[in-house]
Structure 1
């Protein structure tokens, strides 16, 4: 497997699911989305590989069958996307972490001892341990590998293991207008606004690419167009060297293993029923009993359909950092550990739903 690293030569423009048609979206413009979803990055990866095999938009019949169709990846296998700082992975802060902004103190959330009746039924809602007034999920923060290791070991990140968003990239609000080709003057009532992302010099996007012959990834174009407005990015391809945090030592206590399942890439579900079940009862394929969860707001993943020249339908995904609490019989210990670094949900060949296993409940 190779790692494809995309570094911005200027700014990126990855928009969210807000409508971007004339007269829609309000007066504040379209928000940016960074890091982008794989539904955006898979397009530039496949077209770059296809160009390397002699395909062009004018010679559609030369499209390599190994690269699939607009609705599937063919033989291609992808992992990520990962936010990289100096080639080291940064992780979205797990939502079972809370922070008191005034003091900068972090605390963990754990399932309450007693069930509470709410709109989800009788559930053990997460509570902070220890109690800390005003603590809430930290916003716009990312964890280093060491910080995520601490989270998996039932700790909290230490100083230097957290990166603030404003250290990684900046948002730039821009206003544009349509120009008449003949006169090079502005077209009336054709004003738009958007938000661009300007990563710092050591930030890039990483995607693991596999499933095609190794020589297909040699001597490809080093400059590609990526995202909205075809912004330019530098492409570096090298051997895949993704260092994930290690799975903590899980030991049954009184015959029961308590563990967490934490998403590090968005989780995709093909049906609304599967997504609802994953939120309320935990995703399929996880052994044991679902106890509680810390789930982020559902996001909308789209992309661009290059064949039909239109946006792809938006699909709901659970954001990275979402976490579930589980209890399982000790006999499932080996199966639980094997899940670390694996995937849940649908479209996992696109990299959706990668997870890490952590601990909870140890005294």
Structure 2
């Protein structure tokens, strides 16, 4: 174009001294935040404990997926087969995302944080296995803001028959068999058995199923939930298969033949992952974007100031109680929390286990548990794989009798946690009555 003045090209590889009229110079720049200084490599003074005041009470953290999520199972990656995704995700993954966000919000220099044992932020988010002032409860799923709870594994569901459109699905409970058997657990162990109702044939355990609050309230009152109070996995999320190929980052090419297949989770738009947290700093923003799990999938993290309490336990007519496991349980040394097996010499007397939980003397008569939950992951502190650990899965049920006051036992065990590493939310219990049939 005529009269158009041609500017010299801007060169970003060489900086001119200040005051020389460089084209990309900024006059009166704004003071840079700690995040910007940390990103540029400048030394950032760690915030003082005064700047990191703690939020009052307990808050709920809601994670909403931006796309799909992937939480790798403990099985190793192999050329053949598909690597599944664990869902709900492990608490360690969510806790790690929260701790990282707190550090980034405080503009922490992670190298200085790792090198300084007395770093002030360690009082808030801890280091390695220690969580500092943080503690979590969960993990929970929430559909349209309504919290869901894992369905007890002693409940079986029989679908409605296709040839009878008016019939609804039915739910049947397992009970402890009156005829003990000799097995690896003991000489006369009462194992779970189907009810004698002939219509119960064909009923199956409700794996990957959750209860609404009303459904859990009915279970804790000693009743069966209504089928309408169940939420199955296909109502909450979808599983999507993905194919990937290994990359040679040095050459910026793919590695021929190194294909792998994973299965991602795509939550329904109304589904959130919730965690109850205590000890959060005031500096934590109310809404943030975080990276979750394998491949660092994006999710929105919202801080909700709401309190969600469990339904109250129902009153039973005897000394029996059922302990419902709402989150996975981690037990020390593989023993069931110090319970000892009791074998009676009298003929026909079943094997039991006796012990104490939260100061309450209990006799364990039997249990319904699912497959062991295997959890591993990557140790960010030591940069190596985390040892795979076995958990008792959520939904497991333990049938006990109380040696003392049943009401006191309910107060000491309901909405409480047992086992180890309870600060990660493990071992959350709910209590209901148990009638030994």
Q: 1:206 aligns with which of 274, 286, 290?
A: 274
Alignment partner of 1:120 is 2:185:
yes
* Pairing of 1:298-317 with structure 2 (within 5 A): 298-317=372-391
List per-residue Cα deviations over 1:276-310 (Å, max 9, x = no partner): 96998487515321111001111112232222233
**Farther-moved stretch of structure 1 (308-317 vs 100-109):** 100-109
Alignment partner of 1:264 is 2:326:
yes
Counterpart in the other structure of 1:69: 127
**Farther-moved stretch of structure 1 (197-206 vs 117-126):** 117-126
8 A contact 2:137–2:424 mirrored in 1: yes
Q: 2:224 aligns with which of 143, 156, 176?
A: 156
8 A contact 1:39–1:302 mirrored in 2: no
Q: 1:10 Cα shift?
A: 0.2
**Farther-moved stretch of structure 1 (34-43 vs 132-141):** 132-141
Call closer, same or farther: CA 1:331–1:284 in 2, change over 3 Å.
closer
Counterpart in the other structure of 2:314: 248
Q: 1:192 Cα shift?
A: 1.4
Q: 1:71 Cα shift?
A: 1.7
Distance 1:18 1:5 in 2: 28
Q: 1:3 aligns with which of 57, 60, 72?
A: 60
Counterpart in the other structure of 1:189: 257
Call closer, same or farther: CA 1:56–1:88 in 2, change over 3 Å.
farther
8 A contact 1:208–1:240 mirrored in 2: no
Distance 2:286 2:172 in 1: 47
Distance 1:315 1:57 in 2: 28
8 A contact 1:248–1:359 mirrored in 2: yes
Alignment partner of 1:94 is 2:152:
yes
Counterpart in the other structure of 2:283: 216
The DSSP-based 3-state class of the residue aligned with 1:235 is strand
Counterpart in the other structure of 1:47: 100
Alignment partner of 1:129 is 2:195:
yes
Q: Which runs of 5+ in 1 are unaligned?
A: none
The DSSP-based 3-state class of the residue aligned with 1:69 is coil
Q: 1:189 Cα shift?
A: 2.8
Q: 1:54 Cα shift?
A: 2.1
Counterpart in the other structure of 2:172: 107
Q: 1:47 Cα shift?
A: 1.0
Q: 1:135 Cα shift?
A: 2.2
Number of corresponding residues: 353
Call closer, same or farther: CA 1:343–1:298 in 2, change over 3 Å.
same
**Farther-moved stretch of structure 1 (159-168 vs 63-72):** 63-72
8 A contact 1:287–1:336 mirrored in 2: no
The DSSP-based 3-state class of the residue aligned with 2:174 is strand
Q: Which runs of 5+ in 2 are unaligned?
A: 1-57, 162-168, 342-351
Q: 2:82 aligns with which of 11, 29, 37?
A: 29
Counterpart in the other structure of 1:339: 413
Q: 1:76 Cα shift?
A: 1.1
8 A contact 1:86–1:202 mirrored in 2: yes
Q: 1:251 Cα shift?
A: 3.8
8 A contact 1:258–1:326 mirrored in 2: yes
Q: 2:335 aligns with which of 256, 260, 273?
A: 273
Counterpart in the other structure of 1:357: 431
8 A contact 1:48–1:221 mirrored in 2: no
Distance 1:210 1:35 in 2: 21
Q: 1:166 aligns with which of 220, 234, 237?
A: 234
Distance 2:389 2:337 in 1: 11
The DSSP-based 3-state class of the residue aligned with 1:154 is coil
Counterpart in the other structure of 2:293: 227
The DSSP-based 3-state class of the residue aligned with 1:160 is helix
8 A contact 2:152–2:324 mirrored in 1: yes
Call closer, same or farther: CA 1:13–1:276 in 2, change over 3 Å.
farther
Larger radius of gyration: 2
List per-residue Cα deviations over 1:26-55 (Å, max 9, x = no partner): 511211100011121111111111112221
8 A contact 1:278–1:284 mirrored in 2: no
Scaled by the length of structure 2, the TM-score of the pair is: 0.75
Q: Which has the higher contact order (CA 8 A, sep 6+)?
A: 1
Q: 1:329 Cα shift?
A: 3.5
The DSSP-based 3-state class of the residue aligned with 1:205 is strand
Distance 1:83 1:224 in 2: 18
Q: 2:368 aligns with which of 266, 282, 294?
A: 294
